[in-house]
Structure 1
Amino acid sequence: MKPEYLDIPLLKNEKDNQFEITVEGHKALIVYKEHQSIITLIHTEVEPDLEGKGAATAVIEKTLDYIEENKYTLVPLCPLVFAYIKRHPEWKRIVDSSFKGFE
């Protein structure tokens, strides 16, 4: 994650079912579904002003940290999250055993 994103807090917006960071008034977010102790990440999106600036990576990393710290497991249906975990296989440690997409 780029240093400029380190101190930006992650918001779990339960009303809209999305994890969010706000950078200079613009959002990067991941839409999720939660069932018991499993969080399914569905879609990552950044506003146009943040495209290409590392905001998507930042919101993914912060969300994965949140999932691990709060003892959830992950189902990575979002293509960006899936690709991130393929590049950083250490994150497979939080992937729910029901998800077979990496096999």
Structure 2
Amino acid sequence: MNVEIKEQNNKGFAIATDNDVRAGVMTYSIPASDFIIIDHTEVNPEFKGKGVGKQLLYKIVDMAREKDLKILPLCPFANAMFKKLDDIKDVLKS
């Protein structure tokens, strides 16, 4: 599984691919210089239950740590993961 982050203007996304097949995408917006908003997660049905959403989230969390950003998870999936996973709460926007 390959996970990459791409940004353009004030939007960005993490995309997961497996043998050139899109496994999933997590999108975010950049409203300010100190935080991002995760607004949508979509996983290809054939990859459901394989941890794709979590891999996408961890890629964005790693990017946020590198850039010293906080994350506001408006996406229901990302929000649920932030409530469940203690190891990513350091980037949660309060």
Band of TM-score, shorter chain: 0.7 to 0.9
Instruction: Give 1:50 shift.
Output: 1.3
1:26 and 2:22 are equivalent in the alignment = yes
| TM-align CA RMSD | 1.9
Structure 1 letter corresponding to 2:22:
H
Structure 2 letter corresponding to 1:51:
K
Q: Give yes or no for contact 2:3–2:56 (8 Å, CA) kept in 1.
A: no
Instruction: Give 1:90 shift.
Output: 3.4
Q: Give yes or no for contact 2:38–2:74 (8 Å, CA) kept in 1.
A: yes
- SS in structure 1 at match of 2:42: strand
CA distance in 2: counterparts of 1:49 and 1:14, whole angstroms:
28
Q: Which runs of structure 1 show a deviation greater than 4 angstroms over 4 or more consecutive aligned residues?
A: none
Q: Give yes or no for contact 1:41–1:78 (8 Å, CA) kept in 2.
A: yes
Return 5+ residue gaps in structure 2 as ranges.
Answer: none
Return 5+ residue gaps in structure 1 as ranges.
Answer: 98-103
Query: Equivalent residue for 2:76?
Result: 79
Percent of aligned positions with the same letter in both sequences?
25
CA distance in 2: counterparts of 1:10 and 1:65, whole angstroms:
11
Q: Give yes or no for contact 2:5–2:59 (8 Å, CA) kept in 1.
A: no
CA deviations over 1:15-63 (Å, ceiling 9, x no partner) = 7632212122123111111022210001111112211211111111111
Q: Give yes or no for contact 2:26–2:57 (8 Å, CA) kept in 1.
A: yes
Which is worse superposed, 13-22 or 46-55?
13-22
TM-score by length of structure 1 reads 0.75
Higher strand share: 2
Structure 2 letter corresponding to 1:11:
I
CA distance in 1: counterparts of 2:80 and 2:62, whole angstroms:
17
Query: Equivalent residue for 1:100?
Result: none
